Amino acid sequence: MARQFPVQFVDRLHLVQKAVEAARGKDRRHFDFTREVAPGVRLVISELDGFPVVFTLWSRPADLVEICGDGAVPAARGLLAIDRAQARELLAQGVLVDLSHLKRSDAVPGLSYALFDRLSVAQVHRVLHRVVPALAPHSAAA
C-alpha cells in the first residue's frame, strides 16, 4: 500500500517539482541558491557542459520527516535531494551523477537525498561535487 502524505506536503512536492522544471530551462551559473520556492525549500542550481543540474534543499523538520519516512531523523537541519529521473536524463547526456552518495527515499518514490546535521553553503557544495564529480571547483563556495 502506498504511503499517505498530508495534503499540504503533496501540494508542496508538486510546487517544488514545477519550480525545478522551470529552473532547468533558465540561465544558470556554476553554483547558485534560489529564494524559497515553497516554505523551507530552495533550489540549488548548477550546470555542466550546458546541462542544468537542479537539486532541492529542504529545511523544515516536518518535510525532512516526510521525505525520510522516519520521525526519528536525528537532529537533521537540512536535506539536499535530486529526482532520479533528472539524474537518468543527465546520465543519458554523458553527465555522471553518482547517486551512491545519496540515500534513496522509500517514502517519496524517485527521490534521492543527503541529510545535513549542519546546513552551510560549503557542506552543500561538497555534496554537490560528490554527486556530480565533473563540476569545476568554485572558490566562492569552498
pLDDT tens figures, 28-39:
666 788 999 999
pTM: 0.84
Per-residue burial over 2-30, b if 16 or more Cβ lie within 10 Å, else e, is eeeeeeebeebbeebeebbeebbeeebeb
Average pLDDT of 48-66?
Answer: 89
What lies within 8 Å, CB to CB, of 55 at 6+ separation is 43, 44, 45, 46, 80, 81, 82, 128
Query: Does position 5 have pLDDT exceeding 70, yes or no?
Result: no
